Amino acid sequence: MSNYKYSLDRTSKKFQCPNCSKRTLVRYIDNISFNYLEPYIGRCDRESKCGYHQNPKGNMPLVNISEFPTKIIRPSFHDDRVIKDFANNYENNNFVKYLKTKFDRVDVIAAVKRYFICTSNHWNGATIFWQIDELMRIKAGKVMLYEAHTGSRVKQPYSHINWMHKVLKSSSFDSDCSQGLQYKSESNTDVTHNSAFVLRQCLFGLHLLIDNSYKTIAIVEAEKTAVIMSIFMPCYIWMATGSKSGLKEDMLKPLKGRKILAYPDKSCFEDWNAKTKNLGKKGLDIVCGNFLEGTNLNDGEDLVDYMLSVFDLNFSD
């Protein structure tokens, strides 16, 4: 339970943002009644392109928090078998097809296996990026759609992003993928697919800690960037926050004791640099790189955009 009266909802629910009208608003909840506050009080997930954030008034610490009944919400995990169910149909995976135009087939296959990249038919050609923690528990699966020729995310007529726990509950999903409809609670007990999935994210690529005890960790924002940079620069363990706001203590706790480099998108250095300084005060060995700020990249572009502008890569399968 939060030590403040109000906090941002930790579930995966999103609402329409009053500013940009996208369904990207995370609303605040009352940690005593567990009810949402007014519809306009919340934070838009589009930090760079929208930036809407309306804080609740009077959000004071709950000094006597023990007087209130606590409600422990434990995270859910996908069943281990779900990866096997979707580790196929790569010839129809737009992201994998794009990788094969830029890199050697052997390197692409290795990257797919490294990050357990899978294919979803939620949208034709969609990719699944699994968030697997340091104990190999599958905490989430983010479904995203890319253009096969450019590697860009499909954002029209809407941003094509979803979560596997939502996709798996769809009645239109293939019956041969029924294994994925099962998931587990933190206590490792089976949960029916009709129960509420409690989303508690981790860094994309966190599972790579297990077999790489000596490498420096490099953190970027996008999953796509982590995968591609792992091919360009395999001397690092590449992980992704999944969003600009994902660089925070609870996400990086498993990395304590490791050397960490953070590489924000262009124009996001000040925000991430401030966060890394704060994280350093909390015991994390982390620094923020400002390399991209001195390049000709557009705001919002990242390391992959720079690398591809320098290296003329063109492979054919």
- Tell me whether residue 198 is in a domain: no
- Tell me whether residue 64 is in a domain: no
* The pLDDT of residue 196: 79
84 with 187, same domain: the answer is yes
88 with 166, same domain: the answer is yes
Residue 183 confidence class, pLDDT cut points 50, 70, 90: low
Residue 222 confidence class, pLDDT cut points 50, 70, 90: very high
92 with 174, same domain: the answer is yes
Q: What is the pLDDT of residues 12-51, one digit of tens each?
A: 788 999 999 898 999 998 887 778 898 899 999 888 888 8
212 with 306, same domain: the answer is yes
How many domains, in total, are found in the chain? 3
Q: Out of 163-172, 225-234, 242-251, which region has the weakest mean confidence (pLDDT)?
A: 163-172
* The pLDDT of residue 49: 83
80 with 181, same domain: the answer is yes
- Tell me whether residue 7 is in a domain: yes
Q: How many CB atoms lie within 10 A of CB 73?
A: 13
pTM, two decimals, is 0.77
H or E element that contains 277 = helix 269-281
235: left (phi > 0), else alpha (psi -120 to 50), else beta?
alpha
Quote the domain boundaries for residue 44: 1-57
- Beta-carbon contacts of 227 under 8 Å, excluding residues fewer than 6 positions away, are 99, 111, 115, 117, 238
* The pLDDT of residue 296: 93
Segment 215-237 mean pLDDT: 98
Quote the CA–CA distance of 115 and 226 in Å, as a whole number: 9
Q: How wide is the angle at C-alpha 119 spanned by C-alphas 115 and 120, nearest 5°?
A: 130
- Tell me whether residue 214 is in a domain: yes
- Tell me whether residue 112 is in a domain: yes
Single out the residue in 145, 165, 191 at which a domain terminates: 191
225 with 173, same domain: the answer is no
- Tell me whether residue 196 is in a domain: no
29 with 93, same domain: the answer is no
20 with 107, same domain: the answer is no
Average pLDDT, the chain: 87
**192 pLDDT above the threshold of 50:** no
Q: With contact defined as beta carbons under 8 Å apart, do 180 and 76 qualify?
A: no
- Tell me whether residue 317 is in a domain: no
167 with 85, same domain: the answer is yes
More confident residue, 198 or 173: 198
